[in-house]
């Protein structure tokens, strides 16, 4: 069995489906006997990055912390799945450099669809000016230039997206 670890980095707008897909992919990988950990952006913020705000510097610090933990897990044969907006290309590229075995999954979804979904009610608040520096509204999201895997959650079912990700991991010899 291939026990090669890696960092599976989900990036995309809030509401694109990162956390949902991360959970579903983790389930499938565990069924295959893989060791998997999920580092969800919201959970990491509460436990590892408490006190950080949403300035560019704080967001970069948060992403670098997630990347560091993912690297530690991956080098021990674990597939570290991250689900964090990670809006800035430069810091994602930094994490890629630091981590080596890095698979970027761009969870593509048009802003309008994310606003419609608005699972957490954050877009409503951001559009009303109640949340400053909100990615996609008052702050930028820089799409990845060359992600290993792209899923489009506005056009694909969850199952299709999960299969695309698993196929990508097979093609890259992680599973």
The pair of structure tokens assigned to 124 is 């409503």
Q: Provide the edge-to-edge strand list for the sheet that holds 36-40.
A: 36-40, 79-83, 6-11, 102-108, 149-152
Residue 164: φ, ψ to 5°: -60, -45
Instruction: State how far the Cα of 60 lies from the Cα of 90, in Å rounded to an integer.
Output: 9
**Is 19 designated active site?**
no
Nearest to 101 by CA among 170, 174, 18, 41: 174
Nearest to 90 by CA among 50, 150, 140: 140
Instruction: State how far the Cα of 59 lies from the Cα of 45, in Å rounded to an integer.
Output: 10
Instruction: State how far the Cα of 64 lies from the Cα of 58, in Å rounded to an integer.
Output: 10
Instruction: State how far the Cα of 95 lies from the Cα of 45, in Å rounded to an integer.
Output: 17
The answer to whether 161 and 153 are in contact (CB under 8 A) is yes
Catalytic residue among 19, 49, 86, 161: 86
The catalytic site residues sit at 86
């Amino acid at each position: 069995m291939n026990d090669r670890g890696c960092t599976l980095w989900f990036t995309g707008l809030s509401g694109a489906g990162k956390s949902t897909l991360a959970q579903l992919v983790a389930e499938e990988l565990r069924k295959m006997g893989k060791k998997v950990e999920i580092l969800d952006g919201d959970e990491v913020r509460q436990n590892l990055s408490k006190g950080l705000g949403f300035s560019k510097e704080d967001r970069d610090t948060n992403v670098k912390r997630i990347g560091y933990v993912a690297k530690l897990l991956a080098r021990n044969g674990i597939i570290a799945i991250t689900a964090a907006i990670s809006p800035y290309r430069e810091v994602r590229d930094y994490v890629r450099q630091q981590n080596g075995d890095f698979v970027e999954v761009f969870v593509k979804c048009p802003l309008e669809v994310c606003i419609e979904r608005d699972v957490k009610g954050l877009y409503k608040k951001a559009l009303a000016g109640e949340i400053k520096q909100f990615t996609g509204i008052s702050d930028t999201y820089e799409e990845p230039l060359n992600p290993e895997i792209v899923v489009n959650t506005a056009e694909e079912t969850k199952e299709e997206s999960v299969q695309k990700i698993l196929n990508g991991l097979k093609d890259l010899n992680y599973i």
